[in-house]
C-alpha cells in the first residue's frame, strides 16, 4: 500500500515536473547496459574481476561510496566519521559508523549493524577465499555497539581508516542470506552468490553467468522516487569495439563500459550521433623516468646503482630541458584522444592530492636549448650536444606497445631538435614488467638512461604510492633488483615528509603533504616526467541521463539517479 502510494505520488510529481529530469520509481522502462566482459558472479567477495564488482554494485551497497572526484559520500551511514566529529578515535585505532535508521533490504527486512559485522566475519574467514581480504587488512574487530552503530578496531593506528566497507569492492551483504555460506561453503552457495539480496536500487530477477543479468527496481529502496528505471538488462561479452558500436552507432544499448579503442576508431563511432563517449580520469599516469644512476655496462655489477651517479642526467637543468622539449598535448592527440589529458603530476587525482602544477604542459624548445647551453652542453658538429668530450646520447626504453612506440618516435624527434640524441629500445612487456632478477631488460634494473611506462595506485589514498620513492626502496643487487623507487631518487627531506604523512590523519593536512611530495618528484626535480594522465572512456546513449563516470568506485555507482531523457 505504501509502495503504491509513493508510486502514485511519484507519478503525480513526474507529471507535474515533466520538463524536469525527475521521474518516479520505475516509470522510465528498461535500461540496457553492455559490458564486453561478462559477469560470472554477483558478489565481489568471490571474484576480484571489475566486471563482477561493477555488476554487483547495482544490487549491493557499501557504507560509503567514492564520488567522481574521489571524495567519500555516505550511502548507508549518516555522516563521514572523522577525528573532528568523534567518529575516528584520537589514537586512529577505531572508527565508528552511525547507520541510517530506516534502510531496508530488498526482501523487506531491516538493515542493521549485525549485517555489517557479518560481512567482515564472512570475508575474514580463512576458509572462504575472500577476494577482498586486502580491504580488511589490519582490522582487529568489528562490533555492533547497537542496532545502528558499528565500531571497527584496528591493530595499529590507521591514518586512512576508510578501507573496510567503503567503495564497490566491499559492500554489505545480508546476514540472513549468507549465514550458511561462510568459510568452505562460500562458493557452493549458488543462490546467494547469483542473486544476493541488497540495499541497492535494483534486485536480480534472473542471472545467466557469463551472459546476461536482468534486474528490476528494488521496491524497498530508501528513496521512494528512485530508481527511475523499472528494469535493467546487463549484457556481457563481445569486445570493446562491438560494445562501442552497440551504443554509439546502432543505439541497441544505453551504456557501454570501458571502451579501450584507438582515438580515431572511437571518434568515428561517435560521429554516428546515437550517443557520446565520456571520459573520467583516475591515477594512471604515463611517465618518463630519469635514471639517476649510471647504467654504463662497463661498470659491471655496479651499473645502475647509487654508487655511480648518472653522468648526464644528474643535472637538474638537463632533466628539466628534456621535459620542456616535449609537447604533451600532441602526445595525447596521437595516442589517447579523449582517454587522455596532458599532466605534470605523478598523482593527478583525487582532487585533494592533485597539485595545481601545469608548468610543463606548454612545449618550450627555445627554453630547453637555453637551459642546455647554460648547463655546458654545446652543439657539436653533427648537431648533437657535447660536453667535456661526451656526446648527449640517451638510451630510451619502453615496452612493446603501438602507442608507446609512437611516443618514442615523437619524443626522439623533439629531443633531436634540442640537440639530444636518443637511441630507442623496446622490450617485450612480459619481460619488461616481469621482475626477473636474471634478465637485464626489466624496468627495475633500468639498464637505460630513460624509460617510459604507466603506473597508478589502488584506491584514493596515494600514501603508499608516494612512499615508493624513498631511498631504501631503490632496486639494487642486494634486494635482488626488487623495489619501487625505479629512478633511484634519494632525498632525506622527501623521506622525512613521507614518514610525516604516515602519522597524519587530518585529510586537509594529508592533502598538503601529498601535493608537496608530488611536486618534489616532478616540478622541483624532474626525476619523474609525467606525460599523459590516462583515463577511462565509456559511452552512453543520448537518451540516457544522469550518468557520472567514476573511476574511484563502480561505473554503475549512481544508477539510482539514471533516467531516460525525453
Partner 1 sequence: MTDATADRPAAAAPRPARSQWWDVWRQFKTHRGALVGAAIFLVIVAGVVVGPWLWTYSPGFIDIRARNQGPSLMHPLGTDQLGRDMLARTMAGGKVSVAVGVTAMLLSISLGTAIGVLAGYFRRLDNPLMRVTDLFLALPLLPLLLVMVTLFRESLSGRFGPEAGTFILIVGAIGATSWMQAARIVRSAVLAVKEQEFVLAAHSIGTRRRRIIFRHILPNVLSPIMVSATLGIASAIITESALSFLGLGFPPDFPTWGRLLYDAVDYLQQYPERVLWPGLAISLTVLSVNYVGDGLRDAMDPRIRGR
Q: Is position 427 an interface residue for partner 1 (rule: CB under 8 A)?
A: yes
What cell was used for 214? 536482468
Smallest distance from the beta carbon of 314 to partner 1, in angstroms? 23
Q: Site for partner 1 (CB under 8 A): how many residues?
A: 28
Q: Is position 330 an interface residue for partner 1 (rule: CB under 8 A)?
A: yes
> What is the Cα–Cα distance from 40 to 37, expressed in whole angstroms?
9
Stretch that binds partner 1, among 137-145, 375-383, 397-405, 547-555 (CB under 8 A): 397-405
> What is the Cα–Cα distance from 563 to 14, expressed in whole angstroms?
12
> What is the Cα–Cα distance from 107 to 218, expressed in whole angstroms?
9
**Residue 105 near residue 199, CB atoms below 8 Å:** yes
Give the residue, chosen from 441, 495, 512, 524, that forms a contact with partner 1 under the rule CB under 8 A: 441
Q: Is position 424 an interface residue for partner 1 (rule: CB under 8 A)?
A: yes
Kindly tell me which of 269 and 527 has the beta carbon lying closer to partner 1.
Answer: 269
Smallest distance from the beta carbon of 271 to partner 1, in angstroms? 12
Q: Is position 380 an interface residue for partner 1 (rule: CB under 8 A)?
A: no
Smallest distance from the beta carbon of 432 to partner 1, in angstroms? 9
Kindly tell me which of 179 and 423 has the beta carbon lying closer to partner 1.
Answer: 423
Strands (E), 438-551: 450-455, 528-541, 544-545
Burial 300-315 (b: 16+ CB within 10 A, else e): eeebbbeebebebbeb
Stretch that binds partner 1, among 15-23, 78-86, 439-447, 554-562 (CB under 8 A): 439-447
Smallest distance from the beta carbon of 250 to partner 1, in angstroms? 17
Question: Kind and range of the H or E element at 117?
Answer: helix 113-124
Q: Is position 537 an interface residue for partner 1 (rule: CB under 8 A)?
A: no
In the sheet that 139-146 helps form, which strands lie side by side, from edge to edge?
94-98, 149-154, 139-146
Q: Is position 213 an interface residue for partner 1 (rule: CB under 8 A)?
A: no
Smallest distance from the beta carbon of 427 to partner 1, in angstroms? 6
Kindly tell me which of 170 and 399 has the beta carbon lying closer to partner 1.
Answer: 399
Torsional class of 203: left (φ above 0), alpha (ψ -120 to 50), beta (otherwise): beta
- Using DSSP, state whether 248 is helix, strand or coil: helix
Stretch that binds partner 1, among 2-10, 176-184, 417-425, 469-477 (CB under 8 A): 417-425
Smallest distance from the beta carbon of 396 to partner 1, in angstroms? 10
Smallest distance from the beta carbon of 299 to partner 1, in angstroms? 13
The 3-class SS string of 120-186 reads HHHHHCCCCCCCCHHHHCCEEEEEEEECCEEEEEECCCCCCCCCCCECCCCCCCCHHHHHHHCHHHH
Give the residue, chosen from 212, 230, 299, 410, that forms a contact with partner 1 under the rule CB under 8 A: 410
Smallest distance from the beta carbon of 264 to partner 1, in angstroms? 5
Q: Is position 406 an interface residue for partner 1 (rule: CB under 8 A)?
A: yes
Give the residue, chosen from 400, 499, 548, 565, that forms a contact with partner 1 under the rule CB under 8 A: 400
Kindly tell me which of 124 and 365 has the beta carbon lying closer to partner 1.
Answer: 365
Give the residue, chosen from 405, 456, 542, 543, that forms a contact with partner 1 under the rule CB under 8 A: 405
Q: Is position 425 an interface residue for partner 1 (rule: CB under 8 A)?
A: yes
> What is the Cα–Cα distance from 370 to 108, expressed in whole angstroms?
72
Give the residue, chosen from 83, 144, 230, 334, that forms a contact with partner 1 under the rule CB under 8 A: 334
Give the residue, chosen from 180, 356, 388, 402, that forms a contact with partner 1 under the rule CB under 8 A: 402
- Using DSSP, state whether 417 is helix, strand or coil: helix
Q: Is position 409 an interface residue for partner 1 (rule: CB under 8 A)?
A: yes
Smallest distance from the beta carbon of 402 to partner 1, in angstroms? 5
Q: Is position 412 an interface residue for partner 1 (rule: CB under 8 A)?
A: yes
> What is the Cα–Cα distance from 297 to 449, expressed in whole angstroms?
12
Q: Which of 241, 420, 457 is nearest to 325 (CA)?
A: 420
Stretch that binds partner 1, among 34-42, 114-122, 440-448, 483-491 (CB under 8 A): 440-448
Kindly tell me which of 316 and 431 has the beta carbon lying closer to partner 1.
Answer: 431
Give the residue, chosen from 104, 182, 268, 341, that forms a contact with partner 1 under the rule CB under 8 A: 268
**Residue 59 near residue 217, CB atoms below 8 Å:** no
Q: Which of 516, 514, 485, 515 is nearest to 290 (CA)?
A: 485
DSSP characters over 388-436: TTEE-EEEEEEES-HHHHHHHHHHHHHHHHTT-EEEEEEE-HHHHTT--
Q: Which of 530, 529, 550, 548 is nearest to 540 (CA)?
A: 548
> What is the Cα–Cα distance from 552 to 550, expressed in whole angstroms?
6
CA angle 486, 492, 495 (to 5 degrees): 65
- Using DSSP, state whether 319 is helix, strand or coil: helix
Q: Which of 531, 3, 503 is nearest to 219 (CA)?
A: 3
Smallest distance from the beta carbon of 495 to partner 1, in angstroms? 33
> What is the Cα–Cα distance from 230 to 289, expressed in whole angstroms?
50
What cell was used for 531? 606525460
**Residue 315 near residue 287, CB atoms below 8 Å:** no
Q: Is position 391 an interface residue for partner 1 (rule: CB under 8 A)?
A: no
Question: Kind and range of the H or E element at 205?
Answer: strand 202-208
Q: Is position 264 an interface residue for partner 1 (rule: CB under 8 A)?
A: yes
Give the residue, chosen from 210, 250, 413, 480, that forms a contact with partner 1 under the rule CB under 8 A: 413
Smallest distance from the beta carbon of 450 to partner 1, in angstroms? 14
Smallest distance from the beta carbon of 322 to partner 1, in angstroms? 17
Smallest distance from the beta carbon of 377 to partner 1, in angstroms? 22
**Residue 100 near residue 110, CB atoms below 8 Å:** no
Kindly tell me which of 12 and 400 has the beta carbon lying closer to partner 1.
Answer: 400
Q: Is position 306 an interface residue for partner 1 (rule: CB under 8 A)?
A: no
What cell was used for 529? 616526467
Q: Is position 428 an interface residue for partner 1 (rule: CB under 8 A)?
A: yes
Smallest distance from the beta carbon of 409 to partner 1, in angstroms? 5
Site for partner 1, rule CB under 8 A: 262, 264-265, 268, 297, 330, 334, 399-400, 402, 405-406, 408-410, 412-413, 423-428, 431, 439-441, 447
Amino acid at each position: 500500500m505504501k509502495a503504491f502510494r509513493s508510486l502514485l505520488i511519484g507519478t503525480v510529481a513526474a507529471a507535474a515536473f515533466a520538463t524536469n529530469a525527475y521521474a518516479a520509481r520505475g516509470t522510465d522502462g528498461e535500461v540496457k547496459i553492455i559490458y564486453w566482459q561478462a559477469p560470472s558472479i554477483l558478489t565481489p567477495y568471490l571474484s576480484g574481476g571489475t566486471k563482477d564488482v561493477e555488476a554487483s554494485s547495482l544490487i549491493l551497497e557499501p557504507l560509503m561510496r567514492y564520488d567522481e572526484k574521489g571524495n567519500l559520500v555516505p550511502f548507508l551511514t549518516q555522516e563521514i566519521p572523522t577525528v573532528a566529529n568523534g567518529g575516528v578515535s584520537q589514537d586512529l585505532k577505531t572508527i565508528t559508523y552511525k547507520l541510517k535508521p530506516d534502510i531496508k533490504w530488498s526482501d523487506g527486512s531491516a538493515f542493521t549493524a549485525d549485517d555489517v559485522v557479518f560481512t567482515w566475519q564472512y570475508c575474514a574467514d580463512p576458509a572462504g577465499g575472500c577476494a577482498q581480504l586486502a580491504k580488511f587488512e589490519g582490522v582487529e574487530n568489528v562490533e555492533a555497539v547497537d542496532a545502528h552503530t558499528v565500531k571497527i578496531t584496528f591493530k595499529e593506528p590507521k591514518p586512512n581508516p576508510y578501507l573496510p566497507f567503503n567503495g564497490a569492492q566491499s559492500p554489505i551483504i545480508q546476514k540472513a542470506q549468507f549465514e550458511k555460506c561462510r568459510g568452505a561453503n562460500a562458493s557452493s552457495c549458488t543462490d546467494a552468490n547469483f542473486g544476493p539480496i541488497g540495499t541497492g536500487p535494483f534486485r536480480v530477477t534472473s542471472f545467466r553467468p557469463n551472459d546476461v543479468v536482468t534486474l528490476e527496481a528494488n521496491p524497498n529502496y530508501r528513496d521512494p522516487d528512485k530508481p527511475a528505471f523499472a528494469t535493467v538488462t546487463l549484457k556481457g561479452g563481445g569486445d570493446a569495439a562491438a560494445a562501442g558500436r552497440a551504443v554509439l552507432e546502432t543505439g541497441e544499448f544505453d551504456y557501454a563500459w570501458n571502451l579501450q579503442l584507438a582515438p580515431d576508431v572511437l571518434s568515428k563511432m561517435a560521429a554516428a550521433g546515437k550517443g557520446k563517449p565520456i571520459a573520467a580520469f583516475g591515477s594512471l599516469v604515463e611517465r618518463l623516468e630519469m635514471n639517476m644512476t649510471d647504467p654504463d655496462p662497463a661498470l659491471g655489477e655496479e651499473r645502475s646503482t647509487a654508487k655511480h651517479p648518472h653522468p648526464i642526467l644528474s643535472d637538474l637543468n638537463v632533466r628539466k630541458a628534456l621535459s620542456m622539449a616535449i609537447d604533451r598535448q600532441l602526445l595525447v592527440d596521437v595516442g589517447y584522444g579523449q582517454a587522455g589529458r596532458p599532466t605534470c603530476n605523478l598523482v593527478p587525482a583525487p582532487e585533494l592530492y592533485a597539485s595545481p602544477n601545469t608548468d610543463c604542459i606548454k612545449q618550450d624548445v627555445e627554453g630547453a636549448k637555453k637551459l642546455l647551453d647554460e648547463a655546458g652542453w654545446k652543439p657539436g658538429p653533427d648537431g648533437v650536444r657535447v660536453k667535456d668530450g661526451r656526446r648527449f646520447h640517451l638510451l630510451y626504453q619502453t615496452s612493446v606497445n603501438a602507442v608507446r612506440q609512437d611516443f618514442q618516435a615523437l619524443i626522439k624527434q623533439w629531443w633531436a631538435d634540442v640537440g639530444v640524441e636518443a637511441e630507442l629500445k623496446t622490450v617485450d612487456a612480459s619481460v619488461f614488467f616481469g621482475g626477473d632478477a636474471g634478465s637485464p631488460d626489466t624496468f627495475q634494473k633500468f639498464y637505460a638512461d630513460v624509460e617510459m611506462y604507466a603506473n597508478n595506485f589502488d584506491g584514493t589514498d596515494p600514501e603508499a604510492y608516494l612512499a615508493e620513492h624513498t631511498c631504501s626502496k631503490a632496486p639494487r643487487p642486494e634486494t635482488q633488483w626488487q623495489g619501487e623507487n625505479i629512478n633511484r631518487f634519494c632525498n632525506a627531506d622527501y623521506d622525512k615528509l613521507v614518514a610525516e604523512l604516515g602519522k597524519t590523519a587530518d585529510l586537509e593536512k594529508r592533502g598538503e603533504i601529498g601535493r608537496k611530495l608530488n611536486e618534489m618528484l616532478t616540478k622541483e626535480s624532474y626525476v619523474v616526467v609525467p606525460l599523459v594522465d590516462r583515463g577511462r572512456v565509456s559511452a552512453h546513449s543520448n537518451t540516457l541521463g544522469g550518468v557520472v563516470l567514476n573511476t574511484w568506485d563502480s561505473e554503475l555507482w549512481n544508477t539510482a539517479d539514471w533516467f531516460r531523457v525525453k
